[in-house]
Homo-oligomer: A and B are copies of this chain.
Amino acid sequence: MILSALLTSVGINLCLCFLFFVLYSILRKQPGNITVYAPRLVAEGETQQRGQFHLESLLPTAGWVKRAWQPSEEELLSDVGLDAVVFMRIFTFSLKVFTVGGIVGIFVLLPVNYLGDQLSHDISDLASKSLDSFSISNVTDGSNWLWIHFCAAYLFTGVVCYLLYYEYRYISAKRIAYFYSSKPQPHQFTILVRGVPVPSGSTCSETVESFFTENHPSTYLSLSVVHRSSKLQGLISDAEKLYRRIAHLKLKNHTPQEFKRDGFLGLFGRKVDVLDYYEKKLEDLQDNLRLEQSSLAGKEVPAAFVSFKSRLGAAVALHIQQGVKPTEWLTERAPEPQDVHWPFFSASYTKSWICKLVVFIACVSLTILFLIPVVLVQGLTNLDQLETWFPFLESILDLTVVSQVITGYLPSLILQMFLSFVPPIMIMFSSIQGYISHSRIEKSACIKVLWFTIWNIFFANVLSGSALYQVNIFLEPKEIPSVLAEAVPGQASFFIAYVVTSGWTSLSSSELFRLTPLLRSYFKRVFTGKAGDEFEVPSIPYHSVIPKILFFGLLGVTYFFLAPLILPFLLVYYCMGYIIYRNQLLNVFAPKYETGGKLWPIVHYSTIFSLVLMHVIAIGIFGLKKVPLAASLIVPLPVLTLLFNEYCQNRFLPIFKAYPQECLVKKDREDLNEPSIAEFYKELVTAYKGPTLMPIQYPGSSDGRNSPLLLHAAQV
């Protein structure tokens, strides 16, 4: 890839970016779009839904950028929780890292690279220069200038480790402080018990009750047995939809005659009163519901949420093996009630074990299948290959702009498209795996997507670039440095292009700029005639956003001294991401659950991985560049980095796994003076009843039996 191709790409992206910004600035001010651009504020009643139309609202303004910048971290913390703060700190951490790297890279390494003469220098035109002229490939073999790169690697590693330590300590302290300042919450007092050995002739609730009364006499409070209720849940959700439709029709106060297909295979249509029709259907549903609920007691899953009178009580049951048989009475931390993933509740130990295995195999298969688009995309960067395959394209491909777009823009765009399918698939995998909370599913999917991205984008590209996908090198560990060192710098151009396009593509992604939801809302209004009163407050899709951010971090750290040109683009990208996400955290996204910053360790480990990867490549590079002394002197660096990681793991990780006794006892003692604690206990007893057993109220429903029935079910 040559410099001008890069600039073309930058140009295209700047234009797109500017367009999106302008669109965003205008659209967000339109009164009708408020449920799309600030659903959170609407939901919290902080802003009025409809204002007057002003002409000036058609002019783009940048006031929102300033407003996004204003709130302090404390305000953010109290507004949207610790997870969001940690999320924003990923940006600031990356910005700090890349600022240091950028300064060293641009002002020291880039000139050194450019002044080297390893690559042929016959083209005097700067624009036609290959990007490789700015990478370490251009430094003369055996040159003493390489020692500058050597020093830079040590310096950069030191700075990153210091920043990592600082962040980890800061977030740990924040996590403890957040716990201290929290009100009593059901999940702090509750654990989930799985693998209950129900003896024949007894029910699960009786077994759990007697076990915990026996073994936790002073702290046991209550239990909620889990039911296998997927069918019931489907019925309830149908009933709710139907009820909402009826309410909507009643509100409009008109009962249109509509043509409804009914009867045998829906072939015979007849005109019916829609309201009557719906109410009839709701009644049927209710009968079904009643039937299903009466048989629910028999569908107990051998699992239960067990609540305790104190946080310490829950912690004791959580940390100490409960039953004699280690595969029975398995305890795990209960998620927040709204965080429980009810639909899939694999309670048996063996089943969840098999599921894990299946998901592992599925993940591996997906990773292998994904190589097909990756290899195809890789083909695009080889124009000659493309011309051989499709000879008729020859004339078009010879145009400079076309070739620049194809090599510089298209590959990463196509990759992006394919990649966008991955997060939902991974979410599906993680939920099959048997996690019982949305937060853990999301975290697990986050890790899966991250490794998928690193493997399929980074390694597959790097290795298929040099030879066709050498998976073999991982079976010959000592060859890794030299193979990577040969392959990685050669792919620098591709990844710079990838950062330029994908970084901004994902930044300007329709979800982030709210274009998809906006279009959805418009279509709804046009086709259904509804006023857009219904809206939902989305939560940040951590599982797709964080891997993206961390993958760019990996690129930045790995290419820091190989091709420092990558850093300024990353800096701009992270800076814009910071602003955009801050704004929408404030207006759009609302946290659906709170993990207390448990995402940070992922960031820490992936950064350590990036550092060690950089070191491994450095060893190889210095070997190839004929400075063996530097290659051997780099070896202590990964060792030290891993020792540092080990230290951090001992020093901070336990805080992210569980709260220490000191904190638990202190909080429990505070509760004793709390007058509202009796009220809280009452709520706690019903907190984990599950959505199917919760009383559901349909105010003003046409059928009065509706709510009593559901209330009755809740008492079953």
Q: Chain A interface (Cβ within 8 Å of chain B)?
A: 176, 211, 214-215, 312, 315-317, 319-327, 329, 472, 475-478, 650-655, 658-665
Q: Tell me how far the C-beta of A352 lies from the nearest C-beta in chain B, rounded to whole angstroms.
A: 11
Q: Do A327 and B658 contact each other (CB < 8 Å), given the known contacts A215-B665, A316-B320?
A: no
Q: Are A317 and B475 in contact (CB under 8 A)?
A: no
Q: Do A326 and B655 contact each other (CB < 8 Å), given the known contacts A315-B320, A475-B478, A476-B475?
A: yes
State the CA gap A320–B661 with chains docked (Å): 6
Q: Tell me how far the C-beta of A653 lies from the nearest C-beta in chain B, rounded to whole angstroms.
A: 7
Q: Are A323 and B662 in contact (CB under 8 A)?
A: yes
| Residue with the highest number of chain B CB atoms closer than 10 Å, among A321, A475, A654 | A321
Residues on B with C-beta less than 8 A from A663 are 324
State the CA gap A162–B315 with chains docked (Å): 37
State the CA gap A647–B176 with chains docked (Å): 36
Q: Do A660 and B316 contact each other (CB < 8 Å), given the known contacts A327-B651, A478-B475?
A: no
Q: Do A324 and B662 contact each other (CB < 8 Å), given the known contacts A319-B319, A475-B477, A476-B476?
A: yes
Q: Do A661 and B321 contact each other (CB < 8 Å), given the known contacts A650-B326, A652-B326, A654-B326?
A: yes
| Residue with the highest number of chain B CB atoms closer than 10 Å, among A211, A655, A662, A663 | A662
Q: Are A661 and B322 in contact (CB under 8 A)?
A: yes
Residues on B with C-beta less than 8 A from A665 are 214-215
State the CA gap A384–B655 with chains docked (Å): 64
State the CA gap A322–B662 with chains docked (Å): 6
Residues on B with C-beta less than 8 A from A214 are 665
Q: Do A320 and B475 contact each other (CB < 8 Å), given the known contacts A326-B654, A327-B650, A653-B326?
A: no
| Residue with the highest number of chain B CB atoms closer than 10 Å, among A320, A325, A477, A655 | A320
Chain A to chain B: the 4 pairs with minimum beta-carbon distance, closest first: A326-B654, A319-B319, A321-B660, A475-B478
Residues on B with C-beta less than 8 A from A655 are 324, 326
Q: Are B215 and A322 in contact (CB under 8 A)?
A: no
For A656, give the chain B residue with the smallest CB separation: B326
Q: Tell me how far the C-beta of A480 lies from the nearest C-beta in chain B, rounded to whole angstroms.
A: 10
Residues on B with C-beta less than 8 A from A316 are 316, 319-320, 661
Residues on B with C-beta less than 8 A from A476 are 475-478
For A315, give the chain B residue with the smallest CB separation: B320
Residues on B with C-beta less than 8 A from A651 are 325-327
State the CA gap A663–B663 with chains docked (Å): 28
Q: Are B654 and A321 in contact (CB under 8 A)?
A: yes
State the CA gap A215–B316 with chains docked (Å): 13
Q: Are A215 and B662 in contact (CB under 8 A)?
A: yes
For A647, give the chain B residue with the smallest CB separation: B353
Given A320-B660, A327-B651, A329-B662, 14 new contacts (CB under 8 A): A215-B661, A315-B320, A316-B320, A317-B661, A321-B658, A321-B660, A322-B661, A323-B662, A324-B662, A326-B650, A326-B653, A329-B660, A472-B478, A476-B476
Q: Tell me how far the C-beta of A655 lies from the nearest C-beta in chain B, rounded to whole angstroms.
A: 6
Q: Are A322 and B475 in contact (CB under 8 A)?
A: no
Residues on B with C-beta less than 8 A from A322 are 660-662
For A176, give the chain B residue with the smallest CB separation: B324
Residues on B with C-beta less than 8 A from A659 are 321
12 A/B residue pairs, CB under 8 Å, sorted by A: A312-B320, A316-B316, A319-B319, A320-B658, A320-B664, A325-B651, A326-B650, A326-B653, A326-B654, A327-B650, A476-B476, A476-B478
State the CA gap A291–B662 with chains docked (Å): 39
State the CA gap A477–B477 with chains docked (Å): 8
State the CA gap A97–B282 with chains docked (Å): 68
| Residue with the highest number of chain B CB atoms closer than 10 Å, among A315, A319, A322, A326 | A326
State the CA gap A324–B659 with chains docked (Å): 8
For A357, give the chain B residue with the smallest CB separation: B643
For A643, give the chain B residue with the smallest CB separation: B357
Residues on B with C-beta less than 8 A from A664 are 320
For A322, give the chain B residue with the smallest CB separation: B661
State the CA gap A329–B655 with chains docked (Å): 13
